[in-house]
Amino acid sequence: MNEAVPLARPSVTDAERSAVQRVLSGTQLTGGPERQRFEAGLCAQSGRKHAISTSSGTSALELCLWALGIRAGDKVLVTAFGFPAAANLVAARGAIPVAIDVDKSSWLMDFGLAAAAVDDQTKAIVTIDQLGAVTRGSDIEALEKDTGLPVISDAACGFGGSDQDGRAAGQAGRLATFSFHPRKIITTGEGGAVVCDDAELATRLVQLRNHGQKGGGQFASIGTNARLDECSCAIGNAQLARLQAMLMERRMLVAGYHQRLAALVRKGLSYQVLPEGAVHANQCFSVLLPEGCSRSGVMAALADQGIESGPATYAFPEIEIHEGLRPAPNAQALHQRSLALPLYVGMRSAELDRVAEALKGALA
């Protein structure tokens, strides 16, 4: 019987195992040289001056909202299509998430709608790099300038990609965040980071992730424990060293999918489309099913063939806990029809063949 094809699988090699063993052979399991090296590597990758590693991508976003002073009653604009961490965290602070619809082609925030939604209660904006597509940095900066509001760029899925102007994921916005969950481009197990150019904000974030301490026994404010341990940072360093090779392999796999699914495109299957010059990080490979097609039926047919699939991501107004958010028609249409297919480093051509043939059968 054919082995199951998972939706995603982390790429872990002897380099990562050796890195962890190196840490365990020493005496410092947190706050040591691996973290310093990892944060320096994140600065180099994102083109930012400061990087603050955190225990997860969610904690990175939480610290950003905290550092910017978001409080109960404030409004925060959030891209309506994506993993709902940002909307959840805004609501958890007693603030009001405002869903901003996405562009039909790129599946990224519609900046015209964002600018029109700003009012006196709006205190911040969160953009989301969708599935590996990077939100254009100049659009983020123009929105900040026009509205006077800080933008948090949730670049969790964009790490390793760049916009149409060649700017790396995380390079724009007052703050930008990354996630290193096992489904992301690089992983530390769990883990995340905030990057920025503002030294004062960076200091505030460092304090917040360490119970508000500004020094040994000196507590500047209420904070939390959002530190990333040395073993995780060591894994991250090994992953950063392999980043370009992993990105290249993902590009090759996606090209293989496009070749195999060309006949289905002629029958209504489509993809996320980026502007010329943009480089997709390919954190996830997703398709948009033809109109009228049952995604649940397609997923069930793939599962019968031992192939895991799932929703590409979520439209916040379609999620029960956020169903009171204003409508976002494009995001909601994507919520119903977008499908994530298996993609991971180490995936074989035979597995691409299986997925493509199973999808053709399901749509037939």
**pLDDT, average across residues 261-265:** 97
pLDDT in tens, 203-250: 999 999 999 998 878 998 999 999 999 999 999 999 999 999 999 999
Q: Provide the percentage of residues in the chain whose pLDDT is more than 70.
A: 100
Please indicate, yes or no, whether residues 194 and 124 belong to a single structural domain of this protein: yes
pLDDT at 1 over 80: no
pLDDT score recorded for residue 214: 87
Adjacent-strand bridge partners of 263: none
In the chain, the amino acid numbered 167 is R
5 occurs within a structural domain: no
Does 305 score more than 80 pLDDT? yes
Residues 264 and 290 in one domain: yes
Amino acid at 250: R
266 and 319 together in one domain: yes
DSSP for 144-163? HHHH---EEEE-TTTTT-B-
- Report the DSSP beta bridge partners of residue 315: 81
Q: Same domain, yes or no, for 186 and 64? A: yes
Q: Is the pLDDT of residue 2 over 90?
A: no
Q: Which domain holds residue 307?
A: 244-363
Furthest-apart CA atoms within the chain: distance in Å: 66
pTM for this model (two decimals): 0.96
Query: Are residues 205 and 291 located together in one domain of the fold?
Result: no
Confidence of residue 298 (pLDDT cuts 50, 70, 90): very high
Encode pLDDT of 78-106 as tens digits: 999 999 999 999 999 999 999 999 999 99
- Same domain for 207 and 248? no
- Give the end of a domain, one of 241, 274, 297: 241
Question: In the 8-state DSSP scheme, what is residue 317?
Answer: G
- What is the pLDDT at residue 323? 85
Instruction: Assess if residue 8 is contained within a domain.
Output: no
Q: Within this chain, do residues 27 and 83 fall inside the same structural domain, yes or no? A: yes
Residue after which a domain boundary falls, among 241, 270, 303:
241
- Mean pLDDT score of the chain: 97
